[in-house]
Each structure stands twice: as C-alpha cells, then as structure tokens.
A and B are shown apart, each in its own frame.
Chain A
Amino acid sequence: MDVLIGQLTTGLSLGSILLLAALGLSLTFGQMGVINMAHGEFIMAGCYTAYVVQQIFSSAGVSLIVSLVVGFVVGGALGVLLEVTLIQRMYDRPLDTLLVTFGVGLILQQVARDIFGAPAVNVIAPEWLSGGMEILGAVVPKTRIFIMVLAILCVTVLAIVLKVSPMGRRIRAVVQNRDLAETSGISSRRTDITTFFIGSGLASVAGVALTLIGSTSPTIGQSYLIDAFLVVVVGGLGQIKGTVIAAFALGFLNSFIEFNTTASLAKVILFVIIVIFLQVRPQGLFTVRTRSLV
C-alpha cells in the first residue's frame, strides 16, 4: 500500500515536472506551430538565473521567489529576441526553424559553459523545502510538493489569461485563424511576440523550479526537451488541457513501469506505447475543432 501511494505521488510529481517543462512549449509549439529546439536552453537559462539571483540574495527562500519572477522575464526576453531576429522569418518553414533553433540551443549551451564553466553549479534549496512530508505512509520531498503547486498555479493562470483576458482572446484568435484575425484589426505580429514571450518565460520558470531537484549544468535543458515535445504531441496541438492530461498520464505510466522494471526499460516501453498511441490517434488526445478547421 505504501509503495502504491509512493508511486502515485511519484507519478503526480513527475507529471507536474513534465507539465511545467512542457507548458511553455504547448504555447510556442502547440499554439503557434514553431518547433523551438532551444526550448531546453530556455529552461537552462532559468536554472542559471536561479543561481545568479542566489549569489545576490543570501536567503535561499527569498532568492527562490525572486528567481521565479526574474526567470520569467529573462526567459521571455530571450524568447522575444529569438522570435524577432530569426523565427518570424520562417513561420512557413517548420523544418528550417527546427535546424536554426537547434543551432541557437548549441550556442546558448556554449555561452553558459563560457560564463559559468562546464561543471555543475549548486543552487541551494531553501530550508523550508528540505526534508519530506508524510502522505498516507509515503514520504514526498517538499521540493516536489512545491513543484506540483507551482505547476498547478502556472496552468491555472495561463488558462485564465487565455480564456478571459483581451490578450488571451487575441492569442486564440490568431491561432485559430490568422488572416481573419488580422482582418478584424488584430496585429498578429504583436500577438506572436507576446505569445512567444509567455511561452519562453514559462520555460525559464520551469528551470528555476527544477534546480530544486536536479543539477544546474549547461546541458540540463537537453534532458527535458524530448519529454516536453512528447507531452505536447501526445496531448495534441493547440489545447492546454491536452498538455495537462498528457503530462500526468506520462508521469504515472513512467513511474509505474519504472518501479516494476528499470529506468532504461521504462523509457523504451513508454516510447513504444507513445508510438502505438500516435498510430491510432496521430492528432494526439485533443485537437482544436472548429467549423473552419475540420
């Protein structure tokens, strides 16, 4: 029973990590259709933001909260820079975007290596997040609970923004029908930039949170990039709820398979399951269905 609860919470926590890593991508890739291979490096930028902010603030607790905000801005700014200089020129050429952003990712990795050095740096977790909390006999590290809460918070805020704010309505309008939105007086350029800012910012927020459980090194983004793409593709493009469900489904599947087999085998089995799933439902779990898009 303990073990079951333990694995349930592990799945939940893994799911929220996946969700956090994929949330930004579900905007830039899912909504805008941009294949941003530098997404992992935006996560990495968040990790290093947390490290730099921690050098300024002595209290690990304060620096964590400050890093979340600063990280969002840093990541967003990087995203806007990438969008304005490169991506906006290739909205109709997804494969070129793939290569270009892959190159940008490599450049960002090298920049991090030159500034901070190749060895991993240590971001200290605040005292109030050390140790674990007992839930029905299973111990869950507090850092993981924090990440769960943060993931839920980010999804909720993003969903509300997209649903009710004028900016969110503009984003959805451009995603659903770019030409029609422009005809109605929406600047699709401005909307694209805003969307990219939010998506990239969320990637860096994920990075800040991930320093609590993992290492901070120049290649850290690579380990989350594939998972993030998996979540978005399985969830289906264009819908936040698909991303949420896919993240938790993959989290649970992974933790249960891994518990009964091994970490390497779990990855293989998970990939096989996803390949079969995409054969049956190439569009993913959910897809935007409107009359104009059928």
Chain B
Amino acid sequence: MRGSVRLHRSSLKRSALAAGGVVFATSLILSGCGSKASDTEAAGGGGGAESCVDTEGATIKVGSLNSLSGTMAISEVTVRDSIKLAVDEINAAGGVLDKQIELIGEDGASEPTVFAEKAEKLISSDCVAAVFGGWTSSSRKAMLPVFEGANSLLYYPVQYEGLESSPNIFYTGATTNQQIVPALDYLKEKGVTSLYLVGSDYVFPQTANRIIKAYAEANGIEIKGEDYTPLGSTDFSTIVNKVRTADADAVFNTLNGDSNVAFFREYKNVGLTPQDMPVVSVSIAEEEVGGIGVENVVGQLTAWNYYQTIDTPVNKAFVDAYKAAYGADKPTSDPMEAAYVSVYLWKNTVEKANSFGVKEIQDNAGGVTFDAPEGLVTIDGENHHITKTARIGEIRPDGLIYTIWESPGPIEPDPFLKSYPWAAGLSG
C-alpha cells in the first residue's frame, strides 16, 4: 500500500513537471506562431480575372476591411467607423456619379491571412469597386498580391515604414518622410545633438530606426543607445535605467500598444521629465493617451499629420460629425482621419475619371485633391501616396494633443527617400 502511494505521488509530481514543460513549449510555440503569422504572405489572388463590378445599377459597392475582433480591434474599429461616416456623408450629398455607395464591411480578425481571404471575397464575390482598410504592415503585405493579382484597388489609411509602392494601392497615411524625418528635423532645429531609440521588436520600429540612424549620421546627431523589447513587454526598469544613464537630449519612441504604459510610468517615476529629456512618440494618438494615463505623458511629444485640436472649419465639421455619430467622448485621431480622407479621395478620383474602372482611376489619380481636416492633400500619380503636412504635437492635461510645430506646407511623399542623399543606403 505504502509502495503504491509513493509511486503515485512521485509520478504525479513528475508528470506535473513534464506538463509544466509542455506549458512552456506550448506558449513558446504559440508566441512563435504569433510573430510568424505576421510575416507570412498569403498566396496570390485571382490571377487577373475580369472585373465583375456592376456599374449599371443605382448603387456602387465598395468594401471596408478592418479588424473588428482580435488584438487590433481596439484601433481598427474606429477606422471602420470613420470610413462609414465618409460614405454616409457622400450618400447624403448625392453619391458618386449619381450612384449611392453601398458599403460592405468585413472583419480581418487581426490576422494577415484572414485579410487576404476577405479581400479576395470582397473583390471576386461581392464585386466591390474599391476596398478601404488594413492597419498593420503585415496585413497590407498579405493583401498586396491579392489586389495586384485581381487588378483591384485598396486604400490603406495608416502611417507606415515606407519602401513600398503598388499601382493597386493608394496610401493615405504618412510615409517616413512625412512623419519621422520631419520629427528629426524638428529635434535638430531645437538643438538636439543626441538621441536614444526605444522600440518594440518588429518591422516598423526596426525600419524607422534604420532611417533615424542614417539621418543622425548625416546630421551629426549621436545615437546614445538603441533598445527593442518584445511586443507586450511590461518591465522597463532596465531600459529606463539605460536611458537615464545615457543622458541623451531626447528619446525617440516607437513602442507599440501596452508597453507604452509601463514605459511612461517608469520614466516618470525615476524622475525623468519632458523638460530634461522629451520623448517623441510615433504610435501614441489621442485614443492611447487615456489608457496610459494623461498624468504620465503630459508634456511629451508626438509626431503625426493630424490632431483633433487642429483649428480649421473643415476639421471642426469632421470632429462634430464624428462625435454626433459615435459619441461625444470619442476622440478623433490621425489614422481615423486618413481613412475618412481615403474615401473622399476615391470619390474625387472617380468623378475626375468619370468612371469606376481601375485603369481609369489609376490614370486620373495624379493631382486629385481633397480639402481634408488635416489641410489640403493631393495624390501623387507616380507612387500613389498623398501629400501631407507634418505636425509635432504636445500632450496637454486635457488628454488632447496640440500642434507646436508644423511643416511649412504639405510634404511631397517620398516612400523610398530618393530625394534624401543620406538615405542612399537604405532602400532595397
């Protein structure tokens, strides 16, 4: 009896340990898959099938494709909302070429492969004239072959790392020379001679930091350190300790998501202030400020093209319409505005081309303008990006971001940074 008990207990312990091992292995594999999935490109699309878009009826179909579930839903639902707002406004004003727009919404579920599948569905079974959506670079890269294969159109509304241009995609968010480079120009103008780079460990921060380092080398700015943390990392004591010891003039922050909360709390608690060492962030917009706690980021800087506080009649109308539709406590942010703009740019291009055809839109896109909440934007016919005004903002106690510097006018998009001699070694 005692023997069997002994056997049972020790085997239980051993299997418990073994199972513990399984736990680690499983979670390692799971997290491995998570990052892998984002690199996976979906298989090519329909292979240049004939367009099935119906342009005869009283309505014209377009699609929206955003993550309405999964980790990205927090950001992308607001983008879907502003696409819908633009469509409703256009319909109320008479539609496009006398047709009402019918919006078909799909959920990309925060998975690049799902984005590719749903894009395929929207193009070949719903027969939409254009698709608006995507957020992460991996979702865009997964959809790109689908849109090129089926020769259809995607309007992508988020700032990204540049180094891309497709005839089938219109990029209405900033490329690097409209966000990161102006931010560096601003810092240089303010007399910053050294920087510390902190970012999450994935494609956007890595690419952004490569550009920053090239710029710094050409402009005599010293990079005192460069640190990446795994996505979702919550312990920043060591990194903040390194930042504090390095004593740079400013910190350039490309962290994403929840990591920002831990980073800024630690930063404030070791006594670092925006006066000693300001942090310039490129992924914190109005919505994120609330989650971080405005008391932890007051006075810190951001680099975007649009803030809710921009004081123009056009922006006021946009903010009022958005709040009326979705609630007075909902802030508007840069990606939402870029998505709203993308729908109007499509409309204006269609009207200029007098056609919903892909080729006609591509041929006529160059020079199409829209008086956007961020100011006048113009499509570049060559690289399919748009001109944007760069703005450095300061986070104030009311949780909103106020422009403290802006570029003299809209900046021409240059996704491959060809017009910057210091960036010669970057593209490729």
Query: In this assembly, does B37 line the interface, its C-beta being within 8 Å of a C-beta of chain A?
Result: no
Q: In the complex, what distance in Å separates the CA atom of A190 from the CA atom of B233?
A: 39
Q: Is the CB of B271 within 8 A of A177?
A: no
Q: In the complex, what distance in Å separates the CA atom of A130 from the CA atom of B271?
A: 9
**Can you list 9 A-B pairs, Cβ within 8 angstroms, ordered by A?**
A120-B292, A130-B268, A131-B271, A141-B237, A213-B265, A213-B266, A219-B232, A223-B233, A262-B227
Query: In this assembly, does B27 line the interface, its C-beta being within 8 Å of a C-beta of chain A?
Result: yes
Which of B241, B244, B266 is the most central at the interface, judged by chain A CB atoms within 10 Å of its CB? Answer: B241
Query: In this assembly, does B218 line the interface, its C-beta being within 8 Å of a C-beta of chain A?
Result: no
Given contacts A131-B271, A139-B244, is CB(A14)–CB(B23) below 8 Å? no
Q: Is the CB of B19 within 8 A of A131?
A: no
Query: In this assembly, does B93 line the interface, its C-beta being within 8 Å of a C-beta of chain A?
Result: no
**Hey, what's the 0/1 contact readout for B191-234 against A, CB within 8 Å counting as 1?**
00000000001000000000000000000000000011110111
Q: Is the CB of A29 within 8 A of B9?
A: no
Nearest 6 Cβ contacts at the A-B interface: A141-B269, A215-B261, A120-B291, A122-B293, A263-B229, A33-B16
Query: In this assembly, does B22 line the interface, its C-beta being within 8 Å of a C-beta of chain A?
Result: yes
Query: In this assembly, does B15 line the interface, its C-beta being within 8 Å of a C-beta of chain A?
Result: yes
Q: B313-366: which have CB < 8 Å to A?
A: none
Query: In this assembly, does A230 line the interface, its C-beta being within 8 Å of a C-beta of chain B?
Result: yes
CB-defined contacts of A142 to chain B, threshold 8 Å: 269
Q: Is the CB of A94 within 8 A of B16?
A: yes
Question: A interface vs B, CB < 8 Å?
Answer: 2-3, 6-7, 10, 13-14, 17, 29, 33, 35, 37, 92, 94-95, 98, 118-122, 124-125, 130-132, 138-144, 177-180, 210, 212-215, 217, 219-220, 222-226, 229-230, 232-233, 237-238, 254-255, 258-259, 262-264, 267, 282-283, 292-293
Interface residues on B, range: 35 or more
Nearest A residue to B234, CB-CB: A214
Q: What does DSSP make chain A's interface, helix, strand, loop or mixed?
A: helix
Given contacts A122-B290, A132-B269, A214-B265, is CB(A177)–CB(B9) below 8 Å? yes
Query: In this assembly, does B74 line the interface, its C-beta being within 8 Å of a C-beta of chain A?
Result: yes
Nearest B residue to A267, CB-CB: B230
Which of B17, B229, B269 is the most central at the interface, judged by chain A CB atoms within 10 Å of its CB? Answer: B269
Q: Is the CB of B262 within 8 A of A177?
A: no
Q: B1-59: which have CB < 8 Å to A?
A: 2, 5-6, 9-10, 12-13, 15-17, 19-20, 22-24, 27
Q: In the complex, what distance in Å separates the CA atom of A218 from the CA atom of B228?
A: 23
CB-defined contacts of B265 to chain A, threshold 8 Å: 125, 143, 212-214
Q: In the complex, what distance in Å separates the CA atom of A237 from the CA atom of B262?
A: 31
Nearest A residue to B226, CB-CB: A262
Query: In this assembly, does B270 line the interface, its C-beta being within 8 Å of a C-beta of chain A?
Result: yes
Q: Is the CB of B237 within 8 A of A225?
A: no
